[in-house]
């Protein structure tokens, strides 16, 4: 699909997720055919101030491209300057603006989903970011702030007028955070209303959910978040099903553990040992979920600090399953 002047190689995208979609996880999702990868949300001001930790989060490998970088903030000047800097890095194909994050710390600063309550400012941000970059600019937002102020349709139209090249809609309000079910009907209505591409997001956890959301919304692309945690295989499953009607086989435990080990090794390659070991615990928990006796092995590896011990324990566990 085309987003501005960029043609994505497919239409099954990995959602931006803070603390999850770092370089190692993105590489794993790419291996299983995610069409477009989003970074974790990046603080625009921190980019402008050349914050070292933020720049560490901006590392990209050629083999994962195309990559969309997502920025958050609410000061148009900083957002535009960050967009300019990120464009000059020459690493990203798309700049996405976060207008959906529900986290209290973020909305208190007027960022993320708080921008849905301030459409004029949101317009100004998109307008200034567009003027600062020749990359396509996209906006990710929610259904509205709460049930009493649902404004995704007007908001999406405004983002289009401000120059957005595509929008992603997560069919929940800010007040819902991640609870309840995502409203796919409103995504359909937005798709009918806009001329720019609409990316559908929320509760796509299987190939058949992907088929249903496409059917209902007629969206141009799908974006998968939690459904990819410990389950990067979902991208290939959805692609195979959509391209050739191939029904996915159950993922065998060995593939899950082998993938978890590859992911672990990538984390060790790109992060300090301490960071890799602690951050990978949640990913390992997701990979192991539902496997035989997995609570015991999870408990066991969560107490380990030596990476080789973790890898050995996982290898032994995989052998015990065959
Ligand atoms: C752990 C976590 C972190 C997230 N971080 C971000 C983020 O940085 N930027 C963003 O736009 N959305 C973020 N989201 C929201 C997801 O991108 C997505 O919109 C939401 O999870 C709904 O999609 P899903 O049902 O496929 O998970 C996050 C979600 C989760 C669960």
Question: What pLDDT, on a 0 to 100 scale, did the predictor assign at position 322?
Answer: 77
Question: What pLDDT, on a 0 to 100 scale, did the predictor assign at position 216?
Answer: 98
In whole angstroms, what is the distance from residue 62 CA to residue 54 CA?
19
Predicted confidence (pLDDT) at residue 213 exceeds the cutoff of 80:
yes
Cα within 13 Å of Cα(202), Cβ side: 27
- CATH 3.20.20.70 residue spans of the chain: 2-244
226 is in an annotated binding site: yes
CA 292 vs CA 248, 282, 318, 321, 322: distances in Å: 21, 18, 10, 8, 11
Write out the catalytic residue numbers: 101
Give the mutation target among 16, 41, 212 for probing the ligand 1 site: most ligand atoms within 8 A of CB. 16
Q: What's the residue count for the chain?
A: 322
Work out which ligand 1 atom sits closest to the CA atom of 205.
Answer: 26
Helix (H, G, I), strand (E, B) or coil at 260: helix
CA 220 vs CA 13, 154, 164, 194: distances in Å: 11, 19, 15, 11
CATH numeric code, 253-321? 1.10.1200
Q: How confident is the model at residue 196 (pLDDT cuts 50, 70, 90)?
A: very high
pLDDT in tens, 6-20: 999 999 999 999 999
Tokens 């015991």 correspond to what residue? 296
For the stretch 52-74, what's the b/e string if a residue is b when 16 or more beta carbons lie within 10 angstroms of its beta carbon?
A: eebeebbebeeebebbbbbbbbb
Ligand 1 shell residues, CB under 6 Å: 15-20, 40-41, 70, 98, 100-101, 140, 170, 178, 201-204, 224-227
Does an H or E element contain 138, and which?
A: strand 137-144
Q: How far is the CA of 237 from the centre of ligand 1 (A)?
A: 21
ipTM above 0.85, yes or no: yes
pLDDT in tens, 81-110: 999 999 999 999 999 999 999 999 999 999
Helices (H) and strands (E) in the chain, counts: 14, 10
Superfamily of domain covering 2-244? Aldolase class I (3.20.20.70)
Cα–Cα–Cα angle for 102, 233, 255, nearest 5°? Answer: 130
Percent of the chain with pLDDT over 90: 99
**Residue closest by Cα to atom 14 of ligand 1:** 17
Between strands 2-3 and 6-7, the pairing is: antiparallel
**Residue closest by Cα to atom 19 of ligand 1:** 170
């Amino acid at each position: 699909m085309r987003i501005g002047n960029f043609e994505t190689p497919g239409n099954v995208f990995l959602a931006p997720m803070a603390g999850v979609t770092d370089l190692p996880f993105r590489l794993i999702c790419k291996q299983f055919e995610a069409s477009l990868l989003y970074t974790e949300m990046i603080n625009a001001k921190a980019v402008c101030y050349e914050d070292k930790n933020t720049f560490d989060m901006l590392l990209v490998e050629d083999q994962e491209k195309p990559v969309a970088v997502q920025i958050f903030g609410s000061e148009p000047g900083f957002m535009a300057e960050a967009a300019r800097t990120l464009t000059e890095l020459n690493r990203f194909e798309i700049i996405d603006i976060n207008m959906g994050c529900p986290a209290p710390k973020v909305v208190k600063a007027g960022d993320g989903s708080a921008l849905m309550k301030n459409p004029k400012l949101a317009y100004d941000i998109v307008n200034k970011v567009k003027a600062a970059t020749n990359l396509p600019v996209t906006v990710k937002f929610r259904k509205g702030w709460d049930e009493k102020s649902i404004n995704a349709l007007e908001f999406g139209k405004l983002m289009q007028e401000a120059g957005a090249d595509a929008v992603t809609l997560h069919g929940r309000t800010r007040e819902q955070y991640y609870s309840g079910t995502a409203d796919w009907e409103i995504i359909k209505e937005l798709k009918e209303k806009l001329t720019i591409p609409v990316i559908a997001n929320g509760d796509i956890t299987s190939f058949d959910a992907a088929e249903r959301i496409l059917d209902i919304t007629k969206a141009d692309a799908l974006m998968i978040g939690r459904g990819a945690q410990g389950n990067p295989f979902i991208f290939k499953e959805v692609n195979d099903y959509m391209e050739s009607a191939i029904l996915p086989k159950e993922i065998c435990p060995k593939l899950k553990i082998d993938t978890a080990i590859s992911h672990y090794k990538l984390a060790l390659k790109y992060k300090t040992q301490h960071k890799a070991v602690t951050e990978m615990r949640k990913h390992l928990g997701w990979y192991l979920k539902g496997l035989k006796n997995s609570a015991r092995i999870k408990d066991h590896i969560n107490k380990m600090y030596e990476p080789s011990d973790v890898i050995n324990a996982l290898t032994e566990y995989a052998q015990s399953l065959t």
